[in-house]
Amino acid sequence: MSERDDLLVRIKKSFPAEPWSGRAAPHECPQCSALSLQLDGRAWTDLDGAELDELDVVLPLLSPEAFRSLVPAWLHHAVMDPDRPAAGYLIVHLEGGEHAPGLSRAQRDVVRAVVRFVLANNIWGDDDEGNRRALAAVESLW
């Protein structure tokens, strides 16, 4: 099995695909309300890459529960295409470590493995200074 296929299997095993229900973005404003409506009733497997590319800065807005339920969509599409916009947003968010405490140890293992894969396979590659800094942050915070 290729490294990519192996990671996709690990994501599926570690994050159950159950429909999210509730207010995904708890902050009270028009943007967070629209986002919550868009995500209500969706499982992570329902979110395609094009939709995630349009949801540019939403990861910091998600509640810990919504993040745990839906972040596997970003992980999956980042592995499928490490250069797509959603992969970039994902890495930037993960560098902050903000949602790490809400995930299980096994889920954080998958997050780190996905980030290693994305940074080794995106357009900049292993030697890029920005990629190296992002990897160091994710390895220490997740």
Distance in Å, CB of 12 to Zn ion, minimum:
31
Distance in Å, CB of 41 to Zn ion, minimum:
20
Quick one: 35 or 75, whose CB is closer to Zn ion? 35
Binding site for Zn ion (CB under 5 A): 27, 29, 32
Residue entry with tokens 């947003």: 89
Looking at residue 122, its amino acid is: N
Distance in Å, CB of 91 to Zn ion, minimum:
22
CB 112 within 8 A of CB 142: yes
Q: How far is CA 105 from the centre of its chain?
A: 16
- 124 SS3 class: coil
Quick one: 14 or 63, whose CB is closer to Zn ion? 63
Q: How many C-beta atoms lie closer than 10 Å to residue 19's C-beta?
A: 13
The dihedrals phi and psi of 98, each to the nearest 5 degrees, come to -60, -45
Whole-angstrom distance, CA of residue 63 vs CA of residue 81: 26
Q: Is 22 left (phi over 0), alpha (psi -120 to 50) or beta?
A: left
Distance in Å, CB of 25 to Zn ion, minimum:
6
Quick one: 29 or 50, whose CB is closer to Zn ion? 29
Quick one: 11 or 35, whose CB is closer to Zn ion? 35
